[in-house]
Amino acid sequence: LSEKLQNALGKLKGKGKLSEKDVDIAMREVRLALLEADVNFKVVKDFIKKVKERAIGAEVMESLTPGQHVIKIVNEELTKLMGEKESKLNFSSSPPTVILMCGLQGAGKTTTSGKLASNLKKQNKRPLLVACDVYRPAAIKQLEVVGERVNVPVFSMGDKHDPVDIAKAAMEHGKKNGNDVIIIDTAGRLHIDEDLMTEIKNIHEAVKPNEVLLVVDAMTGQDAVNVADSFNERLGITGVILTKLDGDARGGAALSIRTVTNKPIKFVGMGEKLDQLEPFYPDRMASRILGMGDVLSLIEKAQANIDTQKALELEKKIRTQQFTFDDFLDQLEQVKSLGPLDELMGMIPGVNSKALKDLDVNEKDIKRIQAIIQSMTVKERESPDIIDSSRRKRIAKGSGTTVQEVNKLLKQFKESKKMMKRFTDMEKTMKKKGKFG
């Protein structure tokens, strides 16, 4: 086949291959997104080069524009770079498993130690927290408070002992008490500081940890990379915990740190509360870094989950004004089966996590709405008009909500029905005028 013919066939079949121009245009956007997400400059450069090589000449998927296809490749490469799958803690085959927490002051070591202990407890482990920060005033007290809150014992010897001795004594104590995970909270430092570095190295030698987890504040962006690099060089970290991702941080630090240290990010801190520690999911972080939203997986998810037949039925009901609370409930469940709402919203381009905070849809709302509808009788769901004040009271009681909340839902339902009617009416008029369908 001549090249010309092949090109022509390519166009007929689908969209052909990605040209250098397609890739360049999309990559300009990607580059900006990465820099804006605070990814290290050199990391960006290397990454773009690598992805370009892979993308040029790739066959464009049927359903995508060339630009979207480039983004798809970028997304895949980003995910791969950050570790593909979540990375779990390594437990020692002969307990106790020792976890050494390190990092700069204020990064979140003490808080994260508590979160980790709480997590492990839920997995039926018997963790022990160890207070080795003897420098910061009230550091020991802080860990004790945290430990009490998650109901995990804290080993401390006050601030008059050497941290290495405390760590050693804690090991003995833990073994005697049957603790199978020992989490050592250490003193931070404002910058990489020789004395403290030596101290933590000594603790390291004394307790031979299974995990050396570096706690880094995601908000510090570029600095976090240098910190991670030094700690890794000096101590040989086994993993990273990225804290404060609930803030404005766009997660660029995750990519940079992973690239520079080649150590997995194991958890992310999503808030100050002690249950706000989550496993690190590379694919989610990739979409977050790109900021343009993971359009592809949104489409995939939607197609996989929404029953098209059901959707058609629903449409018919809307047209004929037979939309009931049961349909409403059905719809809610479908939305829910797509995954956590905020995650879903985050996949839509242009929606950022900050805006989400102001948004009044969250899973709690959905659960409440579900509870209210589920407390209605079949008849009430079909014809909400019969729901008078005594029924409202009953429904509120049954769903553990208030009459005001029930009222609000009824009003919303009525409004949306009205709106649906307006749409279908509009459609009818348009059709008559020959402007529609």
Residue 222 binds what, of Mg ion, ligand GDP, none (CB under 5 to 8 Å, by partner type)? none
- Whether residue 184 contacts residue 98, with contact meaning beta carbons closer than 8 Å, is answered with yes
- Whether residue 16 contacts residue 60, with contact meaning beta carbons closer than 8 Å, is answered with yes
- As measured in angstroms, the least distance from the Cβ of 386 to Mg ion is 60
Who contacts 152 (Cβ-Cβ below 8 Å, separation ≥6)?
A: 114, 117, 118, 121, 127, 128, 129
110 is in an annotated binding site: yes
Name the residue nearer to ligand GDP (CB basis): 16 or 247.
Answer: 247
- As measured in angstroms, the least distance from the Cβ of 108 to ligand GDP is 3
List 251, 269, 291, 346, residue binding ligand GDP (CB under 6 A): 269
Stretch that binds ligand GDP, among 4-12, 192-200, 266-274, 345-353 (CB under 6 A): 266-274
Tokens of 86: 């979540």
Residue 19 binds what, of ligand GDP, Mg ion, none (CB under 5 to 8 Å, by partner type)? none
Name the residue nearer to ligand GDP (CB basis): 76 or 246.
Answer: 246
Q: CB count, 10 Å around CB of 175?
A: 14
Site string for Mg ion, 70-109 (x = CB under 5 A): ---------------------------------------x
- As measured in angstroms, the least distance from the Cβ of 189 to ligand GDP is 10
Name the residue nearer to ligand GDP (CB basis): 71 or 129.
Answer: 129
Residue 398 binds what, of ligand GDP, Mg ion, none (CB under 5 to 8 Å, by partner type)? none
Stretch that binds ligand GDP, among 102-110, 122-130, 314-322, 416-424 (CB under 6 A): 102-110
106 is in an annotated binding site: yes
Within residues 149-178, the interface with ligand GDP by CB under 6 A covers none
Name the residue nearer to Mg ion (CB basis): 40 or 110.
Answer: 110
Question: HSE of 37 in the Cβ direction (CA atoms, 13 Å)?
Answer: 26
Name the residue nearer to ligand GDP (CB basis): 114 or 282.
Answer: 114
Size of the site for Mg ion (CB under 5 A): 2
Residue 269 binds what, of Mg ion, ligand GDP, none (CB under 5 to 8 Å, by partner type)? ligand GDP
Give me the phi and psi of 166, to 5 degrees please: -60, -45
List 108, 127, 209, 384, residue binding ligand GDP (CB under 6 A): 108
Q: CB count, 10 Å around CB of 378?
A: 9
Name the residue nearer to ligand GDP (CB basis): 219 or 286.
Answer: 219
Instruction: State the Cα–Cα distance between residues 39 and 147, nearest whole angstrom.
Output: 35
Site string for Mg ion, 106-145 (x = CB under 5 A): ---xx-----------------------------------
Site string for Mg ion, 361-400 (x = CB under 5 A): ----------------------------------------
- Whether residue 129 contacts residue 185, with contact meaning beta carbons closer than 8 Å, is answered with yes
Distance in Å from the first CA to the final CA of the chain: 43
By the rule CB under 6 A, 188 interacts with ligand GDP: yes
Q: Which residues are annotated as a binding site for GTP?
A: 103-110, 185-189, 243-246
The binding site for ligand GDP (CB under 6 A) comprises 103, 105-111, 188, 215, 243-244, 246-247, 269-272
The binding site for Mg ion (CB under 5 A) comprises 109-110
Q: Which residues are annotated as a binding site?
A: 103-110, 185-189, 243-246
